[in-house]
Amino acid sequence: MPTLGAIADDFTGATDLATMLVARGFRTVVAVGADAVAPSAQPEVQEAPDLPDRWAAADAVVVALKSRTAPVVEAVAESRRALRALRAIGCRRFYFKYCSTFDSTPRGNIGPVADALLAETGERRTVVVPSFPATGRTVYRGRLFVHDDLLDESPMRHHPLTPMLDSRVDRLLRPQTDHPVTRIGLETVRAGVARLRAALDDDTHADALTVVDAVDDEDLRTVAAATEDFGLVTGAAGLAVGLTGPHPDQARARPASGPRDPGVVLAGSASAATRAQVTHALGRLPHRRLDLTRLRADFDTAVADLTAFVRDRWAHDPARPPLIYAVAAPEDVETDTPAGAEPASTLVERALAACAGTLVDAGARRLLVAGGETSGAVVSALRARTLAIGAPIAPGVAWARAEVCPSDTNHTVDLALKSGNFGGTDIFTQAWEQLV
Ligand SMILES: Nc1ncnc2c1ncn2[C@@H]1O[C@H](COP(=O)(O)OP(=O)(O)OP(=O)(O)O)[C@@H](O)[C@H]1O
Ligand SMILES: O=C(O)[C@@H](O)C(=O)CO
Protein backbone atom coordinates (compact mmCIF):
# COMPACT_ATOMS: atom_id res chain seq x y z
CA MET A 1 0.00 0.00 0.00
CA PRO A 2 1.45 3.40 -0.90
CA THR A 3 2.43 5.69 1.97
CA LEU A 4 4.08 8.44 -0.07
CA GLY A 5 1.85 10.50 -2.34
CA ALA A 6 3.23 13.10 -4.73
CA ILE A 7 1.57 15.75 -6.83
CA ALA A 8 3.53 16.93 -9.87
CA ASP A 9 2.58 20.06 -11.79
CA ASP A 10 3.45 18.56 -15.18
CA PHE A 11 3.85 15.15 -16.85
CA THR A 12 7.59 15.06 -17.40
CA GLY A 13 8.04 16.36 -13.86
CA ALA A 14 5.96 13.43 -12.61
CA THR A 15 8.13 10.86 -14.37
CA ASP A 16 11.24 12.78 -13.24
CA LEU A 17 10.26 12.38 -9.58
CA ALA A 18 9.04 8.81 -10.13
CA THR A 19 12.41 7.92 -11.69
CA MET A 20 14.17 9.15 -8.57
CA LEU A 21 11.75 7.32 -6.26
CA VAL A 22 12.28 4.04 -8.13
CA ALA A 23 16.04 4.51 -7.82
CA ARG A 24 15.52 5.01 -4.09
CA GLY A 25 13.60 1.73 -3.70
CA PHE A 26 9.96 2.82 -4.00
CA ARG A 27 7.75 0.79 -6.33
CA THR A 28 6.22 3.81 -8.03
CA VAL A 29 3.18 4.36 -10.20
CA VAL A 30 2.44 7.62 -12.02
CA ALA A 31 -1.30 8.28 -12.18
CA VAL A 32 -2.52 10.55 -14.94
CA GLY A 33 -4.77 12.98 -13.05
CA ALA A 34 -6.58 12.53 -9.74
CA ASP A 35 -9.33 10.43 -11.31
CA ALA A 36 -6.83 7.72 -12.22
CA VAL A 37 -6.25 7.27 -8.47
CA ALA A 38 -9.71 7.52 -6.95
CA PRO A 39 -12.53 8.82 -9.14
CA SER A 40 -14.66 10.15 -6.33
CA ALA A 41 -12.06 11.73 -4.10
CA GLN A 42 -14.32 14.05 -2.17
CA PRO A 43 -13.23 15.78 1.07
CA GLU A 44 -15.06 13.23 3.19
CA VAL A 45 -13.36 10.23 1.53
CA GLN A 46 -10.71 9.01 3.95
CA GLU A 47 -9.98 5.40 3.11
CA ALA A 48 -10.78 3.07 0.23
CA PRO A 49 -11.62 -0.35 1.72
CA ASP A 50 -10.66 -2.46 -1.32
CA LEU A 51 -7.56 -1.11 -2.93
CA PRO A 52 -7.04 -2.18 -6.53
CA ASP A 53 -3.92 -4.39 -6.87
CA ARG A 54 -2.13 -1.61 -8.67
CA TRP A 55 -2.11 0.50 -5.52
CA ALA A 56 -1.65 -2.37 -3.11
CA ALA A 57 1.65 -3.17 -4.89
CA ALA A 58 2.93 0.42 -4.90
CA ASP A 59 5.01 2.21 -2.29
CA ALA A 60 4.57 5.63 -3.87
CA VAL A 61 2.07 7.18 -6.25
CA VAL A 62 2.80 10.35 -8.23
CA VAL A 63 -0.21 12.17 -9.68
CA ALA A 64 0.69 13.90 -12.94
CA LEU A 65 -1.21 17.15 -13.40
CA LYS A 66 -1.05 19.77 -16.13
CA SER A 67 -1.29 22.59 -13.60
CA ARG A 68 1.97 24.51 -13.95
CA THR A 69 0.54 27.26 -16.12
CA ALA A 70 -3.17 26.60 -15.58
CA PRO A 71 -5.32 29.34 -14.04
CA VAL A 72 -4.54 29.52 -10.30
CA VAL A 73 -8.01 28.41 -9.22
CA GLU A 74 -7.84 25.37 -11.46
CA ALA A 75 -4.33 24.41 -10.34
CA VAL A 76 -5.34 24.66 -6.69
CA ALA A 77 -8.55 22.65 -7.18
CA GLU A 78 -6.77 19.87 -9.13
CA SER A 79 -3.96 19.67 -6.59
CA ARG A 80 -6.42 19.43 -3.69
CA ARG A 81 -8.34 16.72 -5.51
CA ALA A 82 -5.10 14.82 -6.12
CA LEU A 83 -4.19 15.01 -2.45
CA ARG A 84 -7.56 13.68 -1.37
CA ALA A 85 -7.34 10.86 -3.88
CA LEU A 86 -3.86 9.93 -2.63
CA ARG A 87 -5.07 10.00 0.94
CA ALA A 88 -7.97 7.74 0.01
CA ILE A 89 -5.54 5.04 -1.16
CA GLY A 90 -3.47 5.22 1.99
CA CYS A 91 -0.84 7.94 1.47
CA ARG A 92 0.15 9.71 4.65
CA ARG A 93 3.12 11.82 3.53
CA PHE A 94 2.97 14.22 0.61
CA TYR A 95 5.46 15.72 -1.83
CA PHE A 96 4.58 18.66 -4.07
CA LYS A 97 6.86 18.41 -7.14
CA TYR A 98 7.47 21.53 -9.22
CA CYS A 99 10.16 22.40 -11.72
CA SER A 100 13.82 22.56 -10.74
CA THR A 101 13.88 25.96 -12.45
CA PHE A 102 10.96 27.07 -10.24
CA ASP A 103 8.75 27.76 -13.29
CA SER A 104 6.04 30.10 -12.03
CA THR A 105 4.80 33.68 -12.25
CA PRO A 106 4.09 36.28 -9.53
CA ARG A 107 0.54 34.87 -9.39
CA GLY A 108 1.51 31.24 -9.06
CA ASN A 109 1.20 28.39 -9.24
CA ILE A 110 3.81 27.15 -6.77
CA GLY A 111 2.76 29.40 -3.87
CA PRO A 112 -1.02 28.96 -4.13
CA VAL A 113 -0.72 25.18 -4.50
CA ALA A 114 1.70 24.91 -1.56
CA ASP A 115 -0.69 27.01 0.56
CA ALA A 116 -3.65 24.81 -0.42
CA LEU A 117 -1.78 21.57 0.27
CA LEU A 118 -0.68 22.85 3.68
CA ALA A 119 -4.28 23.67 4.51
CA GLU A 120 -5.46 20.30 3.22
CA THR A 121 -2.88 18.33 5.23
CA GLY A 122 -3.34 20.43 8.35
CA GLU A 123 0.39 21.21 8.38
CA ARG A 124 1.65 24.68 9.31
CA ARG A 125 5.01 24.74 7.56
CA THR A 126 7.02 23.16 4.79
CA VAL A 127 10.35 23.41 2.99
CA VAL A 128 11.00 24.71 -0.53
CA VAL A 129 13.81 22.78 -2.22
CA PRO A 130 14.14 23.24 -6.01
CA SER A 131 17.77 22.02 -5.97
CA PHE A 132 18.55 19.05 -8.25
CA PRO A 133 22.36 18.84 -8.53
CA ALA A 134 22.31 15.87 -10.95
CA THR A 135 20.79 18.20 -13.54
CA GLY A 136 22.86 21.27 -12.57
CA ARG A 137 20.24 23.00 -10.40
CA THR A 138 21.62 24.20 -7.05
CA VAL A 139 20.50 26.71 -4.43
CA TYR A 140 23.09 28.79 -2.58
CA ARG A 141 22.27 31.79 -0.39
CA GLY A 142 18.71 31.43 -1.64
CA ARG A 143 19.75 31.87 -5.27
CA LEU A 144 18.89 29.23 -7.84
CA PHE A 145 21.63 28.32 -10.32
CA VAL A 146 21.25 26.42 -13.59
CA HIS A 147 24.73 24.94 -14.00
CA ASP A 148 27.02 28.02 -13.93
CA ASP A 149 24.30 30.61 -14.49
CA LEU A 150 21.94 32.29 -12.09
CA LEU A 151 18.38 31.32 -13.02
CA ASP A 152 17.60 34.78 -14.41
CA GLU A 153 20.73 34.69 -16.58
CA SER A 154 19.92 31.21 -17.93
CA PRO A 155 17.74 30.48 -20.99
CA MET A 156 14.79 30.36 -18.53
CA ARG A 157 14.83 34.16 -18.68
CA HIS A 158 13.20 33.80 -22.11
CA HIS A 159 10.68 31.07 -21.33
CA PRO A 160 7.47 31.95 -23.21
CA LEU A 161 5.06 31.13 -20.35
CA THR A 162 7.08 31.47 -17.16
CA PRO A 163 10.04 33.80 -17.82
CA MET A 164 12.25 33.65 -14.74
CA LEU A 165 13.50 37.18 -14.12
CA ASP A 166 14.96 36.71 -10.64
CA SER A 167 17.10 33.99 -9.11
CA ARG A 168 16.22 34.56 -5.42
CA VAL A 169 13.74 31.79 -4.65
CA ASP A 170 12.27 33.62 -1.64
CA ARG A 171 11.65 36.75 -3.72
CA LEU A 172 10.02 34.68 -6.47
CA LEU A 173 7.78 32.94 -3.96
CA ARG A 174 6.74 35.82 -1.69
CA PRO A 175 4.15 37.39 -4.05
CA GLN A 176 2.61 33.94 -4.64
CA THR A 177 1.85 32.86 -1.07
CA ASP A 178 -0.08 33.84 2.04
CA HIS A 179 2.64 32.32 4.26
CA PRO A 180 5.81 34.03 5.40
CA VAL A 181 8.76 32.97 3.23
CA THR A 182 12.00 32.36 5.16
CA ARG A 183 15.47 31.04 4.31
CA ILE A 184 17.97 28.62 5.80
CA GLY A 185 21.52 28.80 4.44
CA LEU A 186 24.02 26.17 3.47
CA GLU A 187 26.13 26.60 6.64
CA THR A 188 23.18 25.34 8.72
CA VAL A 189 22.56 22.42 6.34
CA ARG A 190 26.25 21.49 6.45
CA ALA A 191 26.16 21.61 10.27
CA GLY A 192 24.11 18.41 10.09
CA VAL A 193 20.63 17.00 10.54
CA ALA A 194 20.21 17.99 14.21
CA ARG A 195 21.28 21.59 13.63
CA LEU A 196 19.07 21.94 10.58
CA ARG A 197 16.14 20.44 12.43
CA ALA A 198 16.66 22.80 15.35
CA ALA A 199 16.71 25.71 12.91
CA LEU A 200 13.51 24.52 11.23
CA ASP A 201 11.86 24.24 14.66
CA ASP A 202 12.69 27.85 15.51
CA ASP A 203 9.63 30.10 15.77
CA THR A 204 10.79 32.07 12.72
CA HIS A 205 9.87 29.15 10.49
CA ALA A 206 6.83 27.86 12.41
CA ASP A 207 4.23 28.96 9.83
CA ALA A 208 6.55 29.49 6.89
CA LEU A 209 7.56 28.21 3.53
CA THR A 210 11.29 27.88 4.14
CA VAL A 211 13.71 27.95 1.22
CA VAL A 212 16.63 25.70 2.12
CA ASP A 213 20.02 25.87 0.39
CA ALA A 214 21.36 22.64 -1.14
CA VAL A 215 24.32 22.34 -3.47
CA ASP A 216 24.97 18.62 -3.59
CA ASP A 217 23.19 15.34 -2.91
CA GLU A 218 24.61 15.12 0.62
CA ASP A 219 22.91 18.45 1.41
CA LEU A 220 19.64 17.05 0.05
CA ARG A 221 20.01 13.94 2.18
CA THR A 222 20.44 16.19 5.23
CA VAL A 223 17.31 18.18 4.32
CA ALA A 224 15.32 14.98 3.75
CA ALA A 225 16.45 13.54 7.10
CA ALA A 226 15.63 16.75 8.96
CA THR A 227 12.11 16.82 7.48
CA GLU A 228 11.30 13.11 7.62
CA ASP A 229 8.23 13.70 9.82
CA PHE A 230 6.92 16.67 7.84
CA GLY A 231 3.51 15.84 6.39
CA LEU A 232 4.32 17.87 3.27
CA VAL A 233 7.59 18.66 1.54
CA THR A 234 7.94 20.63 -1.69
CA GLY A 235 10.66 20.70 -4.30
CA ALA A 236 12.08 19.32 -7.50
CA ALA A 237 12.97 15.63 -7.77
CA GLY A 238 16.36 16.15 -6.11
CA LEU A 239 14.98 16.07 -2.57
CA ALA A 240 13.87 12.47 -3.12
CA VAL A 241 17.55 11.44 -3.20
CA GLY A 242 17.26 11.51 0.59
CA LEU A 243 14.23 9.20 0.81
CA THR A 244 14.52 5.44 1.17
CA GLY A 245 11.83 3.04 0.00
CA PRO A 246 11.22 -0.53 1.14
CA HIS A 247 11.97 -2.32 -2.16
CA PRO A 248 15.50 -1.47 -3.32
CA ASP A 249 15.77 -4.47 -5.65
CA GLN A 250 12.29 -4.75 -7.11
CA ALA A 251 11.18 -1.23 -7.73
CA ARG A 252 11.55 -1.16 -11.55
CA ALA A 253 8.76 -2.20 -13.89
CA ARG A 254 9.83 -4.52 -16.71
CA PRO A 255 9.75 -3.27 -20.31
CA ALA A 256 6.69 -4.13 -22.38
CA SER A 257 8.45 -4.20 -25.77
CA GLY A 258 11.20 -6.25 -27.37
CA PRO A 259 14.20 -4.97 -29.35
CA ARG A 260 12.52 -5.44 -32.73
CA ASP A 261 9.27 -3.74 -31.80
CA PRO A 262 8.68 -0.49 -33.70
CA GLY A 263 9.60 2.76 -31.98
CA VAL A 264 9.36 6.47 -32.65
CA VAL A 265 10.68 9.76 -31.25
CA LEU A 266 8.18 12.63 -31.03
CA ALA A 267 9.88 15.94 -30.16
CA GLY A 268 7.67 18.98 -29.62
CA SER A 269 10.06 20.78 -27.28
CA ALA A 270 11.96 23.85 -28.47
CA SER A 271 14.37 23.90 -25.50
CA ALA A 272 18.11 24.20 -26.05
CA ALA A 273 18.82 20.62 -24.91
CA THR A 274 16.12 19.15 -27.17
CA ARG A 275 17.37 21.17 -30.16
CA ALA A 276 20.86 19.73 -29.64
CA GLN A 277 19.36 16.22 -29.34
CA VAL A 278 17.35 16.70 -32.54
CA THR A 279 20.42 17.99 -34.39
CA HIS A 280 22.44 15.00 -33.21
CA ALA A 281 19.72 12.59 -34.31
CA LEU A 282 19.26 14.15 -37.77
CA GLY A 283 22.37 12.40 -39.07
CA ARG A 284 21.46 9.10 -37.43
CA LEU A 285 17.70 8.52 -37.52
CA PRO A 286 15.14 8.80 -40.33
CA HIS A 287 13.32 12.06 -39.68
CA ARG A 288 10.63 14.53 -40.70
CA ARG A 289 10.04 18.04 -39.40
CA LEU A 290 6.48 19.17 -38.78
CA ASP A 291 5.43 21.54 -41.54
CA LEU A 292 3.17 24.14 -39.90
CA THR A 293 1.86 25.44 -43.23
CA ARG A 294 0.80 21.97 -44.36
CA LEU A 295 -0.73 21.15 -40.99
CA ARG A 296 -2.79 24.34 -41.11
CA ALA A 297 -3.89 23.70 -44.69
CA ASP A 298 -4.95 20.05 -44.24
CA PHE A 299 -4.22 18.63 -40.80
CA ASP A 300 -5.43 15.08 -41.40
CA THR A 301 -3.51 14.58 -44.64
CA ALA A 302 -0.33 16.08 -43.17
CA VAL A 303 -0.54 13.73 -40.17
CA ALA A 304 -1.33 10.75 -42.43
CA ASP A 305 1.79 11.52 -44.50
CA LEU A 306 3.95 11.65 -41.39
CA THR A 307 2.66 8.36 -40.03
CA ALA A 308 3.00 6.73 -43.49
CA PHE A 309 6.63 7.86 -43.54
CA VAL A 310 7.25 6.27 -40.12
CA ARG A 311 5.61 2.99 -41.12
CA ASP A 312 7.63 2.87 -44.31
CA ARG A 313 10.86 3.37 -42.30
CA TRP A 314 9.85 0.62 -39.87
CA ALA A 315 9.46 -1.73 -42.83
CA HIS A 316 12.98 -0.89 -44.05
CA ASP A 317 14.87 -0.80 -40.78
CA PRO A 318 12.92 -1.68 -37.63
CA ALA A 319 15.95 -1.08 -35.41
CA ARG A 320 16.10 2.67 -36.15
CA PRO A 321 13.15 4.57 -34.66
CA PRO A 322 12.15 7.52 -36.85
CA LEU A 323 12.11 11.04 -35.40
CA ILE A 324 9.27 13.50 -35.92
CA TYR A 325 10.26 16.88 -34.57
CA ALA A 326 9.13 20.49 -34.42
CA VAL A 327 12.27 22.54 -33.85
CA ALA A 328 15.95 21.98 -34.63
CA ALA A 329 17.12 25.61 -34.52
CA PRO A 330 15.83 28.73 -32.73
CA GLU A 331 14.60 30.17 -36.05
CA ASP A 332 12.20 27.20 -36.43
CA VAL A 333 10.13 28.62 -33.58
CA GLU A 334 7.17 30.57 -34.89
CA THR A 335 6.82 33.67 -32.73
CA ASP A 336 3.95 35.38 -34.59
CA THR A 337 0.86 33.38 -35.46
CA PRO A 338 -0.46 34.21 -38.95
CA ALA A 339 -3.77 36.10 -38.77
CA GLY A 340 -6.69 33.77 -38.10
CA ALA A 341 -4.48 30.68 -37.82
CA GLU A 342 -4.11 28.20 -34.96
CA PRO A 343 -1.07 29.00 -32.78
CA ALA A 344 1.96 26.82 -33.50
CA SER A 345 2.03 25.53 -29.91
CA THR A 346 -1.37 23.83 -29.97
CA LEU A 347 -0.94 22.82 -33.60
CA VAL A 348 2.32 21.01 -32.84
CA GLU A 349 0.89 19.36 -29.73
CA ARG A 350 -2.19 18.18 -31.65
CA ALA A 351 -0.10 16.89 -34.54
CA LEU A 352 2.29 14.89 -32.36
CA ALA A 353 -0.60 13.56 -30.27
CA ALA A 354 -2.41 12.44 -33.44
CA CYS A 355 0.77 10.80 -34.74
CA ALA A 356 1.19 8.96 -31.44
CA GLY A 357 -2.35 7.56 -31.50
CA THR A 358 -2.15 6.41 -35.12
CA LEU A 359 1.31 4.94 -34.71
CA VAL A 360 0.42 2.94 -31.59
CA ASP A 361 -2.56 1.48 -33.42
CA ALA A 362 -0.13 0.71 -36.29
CA GLY A 363 2.27 -1.15 -34.01
CA ALA A 364 4.49 1.37 -32.16
CA ARG A 365 5.41 -0.16 -28.83
CA ARG A 366 8.18 2.22 -27.71
CA LEU A 367 7.78 5.99 -27.81
CA LEU A 368 10.18 8.67 -26.64
CA VAL A 369 8.45 12.04 -26.25
CA ALA A 370 10.31 15.32 -25.69
CA GLY A 371 8.70 18.27 -23.89
CA GLY A 372 6.36 18.61 -20.91
CA GLU A 373 3.38 20.07 -22.78
CA THR A 374 3.98 17.71 -25.67
CA SER A 375 4.08 14.75 -23.28
CA GLY A 376 0.80 15.85 -21.73
CA ALA A 377 -0.83 15.97 -25.16
CA VAL A 378 0.57 12.56 -26.18
CA VAL A 379 -0.35 10.81 -22.93
CA SER A 380 -3.87 12.23 -23.15
CA ALA A 381 -4.26 11.09 -26.76
CA LEU A 382 -3.08 7.61 -25.83
CA ARG A 383 -5.55 7.63 -22.94
CA ALA A 384 -2.96 6.25 -20.52
CA ARG A 385 -4.19 6.21 -16.94
CA THR A 386 -1.10 4.92 -15.17
CA LEU A 387 2.61 4.59 -15.92
CA ALA A 388 4.79 2.04 -14.12
CA ILE A 389 8.33 3.40 -14.00
CA GLY A 390 11.08 1.15 -15.36
CA ALA A 391 14.71 1.57 -16.43
CA PRO A 392 16.40 4.96 -16.06
CA ILE A 393 17.76 6.68 -19.19
CA ALA A 394 19.30 9.88 -17.80
CA PRO A 395 18.83 11.95 -14.62
CA GLY A 396 15.10 12.68 -14.51
CA VAL A 397 14.18 10.48 -17.49
CA ALA A 398 13.12 6.81 -17.47
CA TRP A 399 11.14 4.31 -19.47
CA ALA A 400 7.64 3.61 -18.18
CA ARG A 401 5.24 0.81 -19.03
CA ALA A 402 1.78 2.08 -19.87
CA GLU A 403 -1.56 0.56 -20.75
CA VAL A 404 -2.92 2.73 -23.56
CA CYS A 405 -6.06 2.80 -25.64
CA PRO A 406 -5.81 5.46 -28.38
CA SER A 407 -8.91 4.25 -30.25
CA ASP A 408 -10.75 1.12 -29.18
CA THR A 409 -7.97 -1.43 -28.67
CA ASN A 410 -5.77 -1.73 -25.59
CA HIS A 411 -2.00 -1.93 -26.00
CA THR A 412 0.92 -2.03 -23.61
CA VAL A 413 3.76 0.29 -24.59
CA ASP A 414 7.04 1.64 -23.29
CA LEU A 415 6.94 5.39 -22.99
CA ALA A 416 9.71 7.82 -22.06
CA LEU A 417 8.70 11.40 -21.29
CA LYS A 418 11.69 13.72 -21.46
CA SER A 419 11.67 17.22 -19.97
CA GLY A 420 12.80 19.79 -22.53
CA ASN A 421 16.14 20.49 -20.87
CA PHE A 422 16.99 16.99 -19.68
CA GLY A 423 19.10 14.25 -21.24
CA GLY A 424 22.43 13.99 -23.05
CA THR A 425 22.85 14.96 -26.69
CA ASP A 426 22.60 11.34 -27.87
CA ILE A 427 19.45 10.43 -25.90
CA PHE A 428 17.27 9.86 -29.01
CA THR A 429 19.64 7.20 -30.29
CA GLN A 430 20.83 5.72 -26.98
CA ALA A 431 17.65 5.53 -24.86
CA TRP A 432 16.57 2.28 -26.54
CA GLU A 433 19.54 0.41 -25.14
CA GLN A 434 18.07 0.73 -21.64
CA LEU A 435 14.96 -1.23 -22.69
CA VAL A 436 16.26 -4.65 -21.77
N1 LIG B 1 7.82 25.70 -34.34
C2 LIG B 1 7.20 26.05 -33.21
N3 LIG B 1 6.77 27.29 -33.03
C4 LIG B 1 6.14 27.64 -31.90
N5 LIG B 1 5.89 26.80 -30.87
C6 LIG B 1 6.29 25.54 -31.01
C7 LIG B 1 6.97 25.10 -32.17
N8 LIG B 1 7.26 23.80 -32.00
C9 LIG B 1 6.82 23.45 -30.81
N10 LIG B 1 6.22 24.48 -30.19
C11 LIG B 1 5.56 24.46 -28.89
O12 LIG B 1 6.50 24.71 -27.86
C13 LIG B 1 6.00 24.12 -26.67
C14 LIG B 1 7.13 23.31 -26.08
O15 LIG B 1 6.71 22.97 -24.79
P16 LIG B 1 7.05 21.60 -24.14
O17 LIG B 1 6.59 21.71 -22.72
O18 LIG B 1 6.53 20.47 -24.95
O19 LIG B 1 8.62 21.58 -24.21
P20 LIG B 1 9.64 22.24 -23.19
O21 LIG B 1 9.11 23.54 -22.66
O22 LIG B 1 10.95 22.23 -23.86
O23 LIG B 1 9.65 21.11 -22.08
P24 LIG B 1 9.54 21.16 -20.48
O25 LIG B 1 8.20 21.76 -20.16
O26 LIG B 1 9.62 19.72 -20.13
O27 LIG B 1 10.70 21.96 -20.01
C28 LIG B 1 4.83 23.23 -27.05
O29 LIG B 1 3.62 23.86 -26.73
C30 LIG B 1 5.02 23.09 -28.54
O31 LIG B 1 3.81 22.82 -29.21
O1 LIG C 1 12.22 19.55 -12.37
C2 LIG C 1 12.43 19.60 -13.57
O3 LIG C 1 13.27 20.36 -14.08
C4 LIG C 1 11.56 18.78 -14.50
O5 LIG C 1 11.08 17.65 -13.85
C6 LIG C 1 10.42 19.58 -14.97
O7 LIG C 1 9.48 19.77 -14.21
C8 LIG C 1 10.49 20.16 -16.34
O9 LIG C 1 9.22 20.36 -16.88
Q: How confident is the model at residue 47 (pLDDT cuts 50, 70, 90)?
A: very low
How many whole angstroms separate alpha carbon 419 and alpha carbon 402?
18
How many whole angstroms separate alpha carbon 221 and alpha carbon 270?
33
Question: Residue 45's pLDDT is what?
Answer: 41
- 223 close to 138: Cβ distance less than 8 angstroms: no
Residue 326 has pLDDT above 90, yes or no: yes
Q: What are phi and psi of 421, to 5 degrees?
A: -95, 10
- CB 348 less than 6 A from any atom of ligand 1: yes
Question: Residue 335's pLDDT is what?
Answer: 86
Question: Residue 118's pLDDT is what?
Answer: 98
Q: Cα of 411 to ligand 2 centre, how many Å?
A: 28
Question: Residue 57's pLDDT is what?
Answer: 84
- CB 268 less than 6 A from any atom of ligand 1: yes
Beta carbons within 8 Å of 99's beta carbon, 6+ residues apart: 9, 10, 13, 68, 130, 236
How many whole angstroms separate alpha carbon 76 and alpha carbon 234?
15
Q: Which residues of 180-217 are buried (b: 16+ CB within 10 A; e: fewer)?
A: ebbbbebebbeeebebbbebbeeeebeebbbbbbbbee
Question: Residue 40's pLDDT is what?
Answer: 59
Name 139's bridge partners: 144, 214
Q: Cα of 99 to ligand 2 centre, how many Å?
A: 4
- 256 close to 412: Cβ distance less than 8 angstroms: yes
Question: Residue 237's pLDDT is what?
Answer: 98
- CB 99 less than 6 A from any atom of ligand 2: yes
CA-nearest residue, atom 7 of ligand 1: 333
- CB 213 less than 6 A from any atom of ligand 2: no
Reported ipTM: the value is 0.97
- Residue 141: Cβ within 10 Å count: 10
Which of the listed residues 7, 16, 131, 375 should we mutate to test ligand 2's pocket, taking the one with most ligand atoms within 8 A of CB?
16
348-384 per-position pLDDT tens digit: 999 999 999 999 999 999 999 999 989 999 999 999 9
- 223 close to 189: Cβ distance less than 8 angstroms: yes
Q: What percent of the chain has pLDDT over 90?
A: 88
Furthest C-alpha separation in the chain: 67
Ligand 1: atom nearest CA of 12 is 26
275-309 per-position pLDDT tens digit: 999 999 999 999 999 999 999 999 999 999 999 99
Q: Cα of 418 to ligand 2 centre, how many Å?
A: 9
The region of weakest confidence among 175-179, 229-233, 419-423 is: 419-423
Which of the listed residues 66, 158, 347, 348 should we mutate to test ligand 1's pocket, taking the one with most ligand atoms within 8 A of CB?
348
